[in-house]
Amino acid sequence: MNDLAPGRWVLSRIVPLYKARVSDLGPDDFVKITCYACGHETLITPDTFLVRPDVSPNTRVVDLERRVRCRECNAIGEALVSVRWG
């Protein structure tokens, strides 16, 4: 039997948002950030986070909500974060 037959061992790499860490994100994935205060939406790549000293590959994606600042209205910690898997 061919264990690599299509459909047999296909594992989704999509991780539930509450479990997802920055390291789960690949180069084709985006983090979508929506500002509660003004509704501004932006898509950013994981590399953008990893240059920050307070974010490591182990940081949970949902924890980014409290750390990001809206570029439109400067609200801090008003973000709704979700992952757009590439």
List residues near Zn ion by CB under 5 A: 35, 37-38, 40, 70, 72-73, 75
Bridge pairing between strands 30-35 and 41-44: antiparallel
Least separation in angstroms between residue 10's CB and Zn ion is 39
Least separation in angstroms between residue 14's CB and Zn ion is 28
Q: Which residue, 21 or 32, has its beta carbon nearer to Zn ion?
A: 32
Q: Which residue, 38 or 50, has its beta carbon nearer to Zn ion?
A: 38
Cα(82)–Cα(61) distance, integer angstroms: 8
Least separation in angstroms between residue 20's CB and Zn ion is 23
Query: What are the residues whose beta carbons fall under 8 Å from the beta carbon of 57, sequence distance 6 or more?
Result: 21, 22, 23, 50
Q: Which residue, 14 or 73, has its beta carbon nearer to Zn ion?
A: 73
Cα(38)–Cα(59) distance, integer angstroms: 26
Cα(4)–Cα(31) distance, integer angstroms: 31
